[in-house]
Amino acid sequence: MQRRVQLRGDIALVRFLVLYTFHRVDALSLHRLMRLARMNPNVTVVPALGIGFKKPPLKTLIYRSSGYSTLLNIVCEKIERIRRKAEIDALKDYLEKRGFLLHCDSTTLGMDNQDLAIVNWFLSQGEKYDFDFLIYFEYDMFTTKTIESLYEAYSKFDAGFVDYREASPFWDNYDRPRGARRSVVQWLKHQGSLPITYAGFFPGNMISRKALACLSKLDFPIGYCEMRLPSILTGLGFSCTNLDFPMVKWTFNKNEAFSKNDVEKRPDYGIFHPVYDDFEA
Query: Measured between alpha carbons, how far apart are the two ends of the chain, in Å?
Result: 34
173-198: pLDDT as tens digits: 999 888 999 999 999 999 999 999 99
CB 126 within 8 A of CB 57: no
Percent of the chain with pLDDT over 90: 74
Domains of the chain: 6-272 (3.90.550)
228-262: pLDDT as tens digits: 999 999 999 999 999 999 999 998 888 899 999 99
Can you give the length of the chain in residues? Answer: 281
CB 195 within 8 A of CB 185: yes
Query: Which residues partner with 19 through β-bridges?
Result: 46, 136
SS3 at position 55: coil
Query: Which residues partner with 242 through β-bridges?
Result: 161
- Helix, strand, coil percentages, rounded to 5, for the chain: 35, 20, 40
**Is the peptide bond prior to 56 cis by the omega test (within 30 degrees of 0)?**
no
SS3 at position 117: helix
